[in-house]
Structure 1
Amino acid sequence: MTSDRRITDDQRLLDLEHSEEWKQRAAWRVMKFQAEFVEGFDVLEAADLGDAVCVYGSARTVVDSEEYKLGVDLGRKLGEAGFSVITGGGPGAMEAANRGAYDAGVKSVGLGIELPFEQGINEFVDIELDFKYFFVRKVMFLKYSCGFCALPGGFGTMDELFEALTLEQTGKVGKFPIALIGTDYWGGLVEWLRASMLGDGKISTKDLDLLLVTDDLDEAVAHMQQSRSAQSSARS
C-alpha cells in the first residue's frame, strides 16, 4: 500500500533512514538552512511589523466552533491594540487569529511549514513565508514577536510554548509575556507544573509566574501591552 505522505527536508535531515544521503550532501543542506534564514530575515525586516504577538493554537480547531470565534476575537483585539499578529499560517486557530488581525487592518503574518501532508497558508495572511525546517521557523517566531498567546492546541503548540518558557527562564530572551487562553484547557497543565515540577524542585515559583492563564481576552492583551510599555521604557 502506497503512502501519500511526502518526505520533507527536515525528515531527510533528522531521520536515521536518510543518514547516508545526509553525509553525501551535508554541505548543501547547510546552505539550505542559511538560505531559509536569509529569506526569513529579509522578508520580515522589510515588512516592518512593529510590535507583534505570536498566536499559537490547533490546526484542528473547527471553523464554526467557539474556539475559532475566540481566536478571531483575540486577533482583532490584538490588532486594535496596535499589534501585528504572527501565526503558523495554517487552518484552525491560526486562521482565526489571522482573520481577526486582517479584520482589524493590521499586518497578518503566516509562517508556514512544510509537512508530509498538505496544509497551506490560510487566506487571511498578507505576509507569507514557507519554511522547510522547524528550527528556522521558530527563530522567526521569537525574533519578530514581543509576546505569545496560546489558544487550545496540541503537540505543536506545546512545543512552541515550552521553547518560549525555556528561553525566558534561562535569560535567552528578555521580558516575553506568555498568555494561555482558556482556563479549562490549560488549568490542568499548570496544576501539574505546580504539583509535580515545582513540588519536586525542578522549577521555581518565579518560573510559574512566567505564565498568565486567563479566559479574559482583554486581560491577555493588557498583559502584552504592559510588557511593551516596560520594553519601551527600558529603551528610552
Structure 2
Amino acid sequence: MFGMKKTRPERRQGASLVRGALVSDSTHDQRLLDRRGPADWLHMDPWRVMRIQAEFVEGFGQLAELPQAVTVFGSARTKEGTPEYEMGIELGRKFSEAGYAVITGGGPGCMEAANRGAREAGGVSVGLGIELPFEQQMNEYVDLGIEFRYFFVRKTMFVKYACGFVTLPGGFGTMDELFEALTLVQTRKVTSFPVVLMGTEYWGGLLDWMRTTLVGSGKISPADVDLIYVTDDVDEAVRIITDADRNRSRQLQDEERAAADTVGDAQ
C-alpha cells in the first residue's frame, strides 16, 4: 500500500540491496579488518581481493567518461534549510555552471545539497555511496550513483576523478576525507589539487591548532598549513578550483610541447 512506513531493516551492499533477516550485523569493511576468530580468514582474504578488484573496475568504468569534476564533502546530519545546506546547493550549482561535474558521498545533508545544486543547474551529479552498519539511502538528486563496500576503494574514486576538494562543515567522516586529501597533497601524491574549507568560523579553531600546536611542535611545516584555503564565499571557492585547474592544464600543455620539441630535435 502507498504510504506504508518501512519496518524492515535495509542495507545497500555494493550493487545489491538486502532487507530483513538478510541484513548482516557487520559490514564488508568490518570483516576485512577483523583478525579475531579462527584462521579461516587466511583462506577467505584472497577471495576478498577479487571483490575489491571488482569494485575498482566498476568505479573506473563508470567514472572514466566524467567531465572535469569537483568533490564536495560535508556532514550527512546537516538539515535542509540551514545556511550550510544552502551553501551546499550554491556550490553544486556554481560548479555545474562552470562546467564541472559534482561528486559527493551520495548521502543526505551537505552531500544532498551539493548534488541538488548540480542537478537543478543541469550539471552532472554523482554520488559515491558506502555500505554502513546503519541505513543510509542514496539521495534523490544523484544522476550517477555507485555503492561501495570498502572505504579505501571509494576514497580512490573521490581523488582520481576530481581536480579539487571543497569541504563543508562535518564530523569524523568529513575530517577523515579532509586529512586524507591533505596528506596526498603534502606528500605530492596529487599535484595542483586545491583543498577548500567552507566556513571560517567552523574551521578557524582547527587552523589555529595546526599553526600553534602542529607547526609549533615541528610536526608539520608552516607551508603545510598554506595547502588549505578557507573561505565563506562560494564564488571564491569556485575561483580557487578553476584557477588551479586552468594552471594545471597550461602546465600539461607546456610539458607536451616541450616533449614534442625534444622529439623533433632528436630527428
Residues in 2 aligned to 1:54 and 1:233: alpha-carbon distance in whole angstroms:
22
Q: Give the structure with higher Rg (CA).
A: 2
Give 5+ residue unaligned stretches, structure 1: none
Aligned residues: 231
Please name the residue that 1:106 is paired with: 123
What amino acid maps onto 2:162 in structure 1?
S
Deviation at 1:19, TM superposition (A): 6.5
Deviation at 1:5, TM superposition (A): 7.3
The 5-angstrom pairing of residues 25-36 of structure 1 reads 25-36=44-55
Give 5+ residue unaligned stretches, structure 2: 1-22, 254-267
Residues in 2 aligned to 1:109 and 1:21: alpha-carbon distance in whole angstroms:
38
Deviation at 1:77, TM superposition (A): 1.1
What amino acid maps onto 1:29 in structure 2?
R
Among 181, 197, 219, the residue aligned to 2:214: 197
Taking a change above 3 Å as real, the CA distance of residues 123 and 89 of structure 1, as seen in their structure-2 partners, is same
Deviation at 1:112, TM superposition (A): 0.1
Q: Note the alpha carbon deviations across 1:161-195, whole angstroms, 9 max, x for none.
A: 10110011011111110110000100000000000
Deviation at 1:83, TM superposition (A): 1.1
Among 236, 239, 243, the residue aligned to 1:222: 239
Please name the residue that 1:22 is paired with: 41
Residues in 2 aligned to 1:223 and 1:213: alpha-carbon distance in whole angstroms:
10
Residues in 2 aligned to 1:122 and 1:20: alpha-carbon distance in whole angstroms:
39
Residues in 2 aligned to 1:115 and 1:142: alpha-carbon distance in whole angstroms:
21
- Compute the TM-score of the two structures, normalised by the length of structure 1: 0.95
Please name the residue that 1:73 is paired with: 90
**Cα RMSD (Å) of the superposition?**
1.3
Residues in 2 aligned to 1:106 and 1:131: alpha-carbon distance in whole angstroms:
23
Deviation at 1:17, TM superposition (A): 3.5
- Compute the TM-score of the two structures, normalised by the length of structure 2: 0.84
Please say if 1:9 is aligned against 2:20. no
Query: Residue 227 of structure 1: SS of its match in structure 2?
Result: helix
Please say if 1:211 is aligned against 2:211. no
Among 136, 144, 150, the residue aligned to 2:161: 144
Runs (4+) off by over 4 Å: none
Residues in 1 aligned to 2:38 and 2:165: alpha-carbon distance in whole angstroms:
35
Please name the residue that 1:161 is paired with: 178
